[in-house]
Amino acid sequence: MPAHALSPAHAAVHPAWRAQLTLAFTRDSDTTRLTRREHSGPLRVQKPLYPEDPAICHAIVVHPPGGVVGGDELAVDAHLNAGAHALLTSPGAAKWYRANGRVSRQRIALSVDAGAALEWLPQETIFFNDAHVELDHHVTLAADASYLGCEILCLGRRASGEAFTKGRINQRTSVRRGGRLLWWEQGTLAADTIASPLGLNGHTVSAMLLAVGKPVAADTVAALRALADHPCYGVTQMKHVLCVRWLGHDSEAARELMLAAWRIVRPAVLGRAAIDLRSWRT
């Protein structure tokens, strides 16, 4: 978090911010280039990075205030032109502070053209007690495009002794490929959802890795299932969609498990060996 990041106390008097980031990536011979970078409000992307191969452009999405308060709205639109490959991540955990009577919103819209691949790998999201947040995440893929996406949601700050006893997180997620809806998920996370056996069954951290592309082999699924012997860990293969889920109480454990799963899934779906995500180690 930057030194000027908002604290929950500062959040009480902070005026609402609207932030928009629009990105486009284009394949230029053997290189994927960031060809559009527009922003308004406190949302940025650092310069394009190439830690593994010029064909894969890494970009780090930065929210300089370091936290989101009631009334703030964030929007990210990213478009990959044909044949491009981009990996988008964040430099640290996202923090959503208490609502102060206003709803915070985030909208992510990702579109991927023919033969392109997008990896959406932000670090964990932490919801402070009494946060009220609307999250929309929508992915549109060409018929032969690929997508790897990860989310880690932490309700409350267990390490600081703060439980999520009040507040509400509304989520909507969709993935379409070749015009077909492959994944649709919506739900509400609240205090009663955490406690309910039909919800999180008392867990405070939820993690998911979603892969959309060519079906993976049975040995890949077996390797993923062998990563954890835990009653709230599962791996499901559904034709062109692979889903890895975990429930627990430890965000660090969730990070390590999702990274381990990504290292197995990436070569199988994208044909690319996994590397160490340096931003996740800072």
DSSP the chain: --TTPPPHHHHTTPPP-EEEEEEEEEEETTEEEEEEEEEESS-EE---B-SS-TTSEEEEEE-TTS-B-TT-EEEEEEEE-TT-EEEEE-SS-EEE---TTS-EEEEEEEEE-TT-EEEEE---EEEPTT-EEEEEEEEEE-TT-EEEEEEEEEESBGGGTB---S-EEEEEEEEEETTEEEEEEEEEEEHHHHHSTTTTTT--EEEEEEEESSPPPHHHHHHHHTT---TTEEEEEETTEEEEEEEES-HHHHHHHHHHHHHHHHHHHHS------GGGG-
* Residue, of 96 and 197, whose pLDDT is higher: 96
pLDDT tens profile 64-122:
887 999 899 999 999 999 999 999 999 999 999 998 889 999 999 999 999 999 999 99
> Taking the model in full, what pTM does it have?
0.92
- Predicted pLDDT of residue 229: 92
- Predicted pLDDT of residue 13: 52
Q: How confident is the model at residue 53 (pLDDT cuts 50, 70, 90)?
A: very high
pLDDT tens profile 12-26:
455 678 999 999 999
- Average predicted confidence (pLDDT) for the chain: 92
pLDDT tens profile 246-266:
999 999 999 999 999 999 999
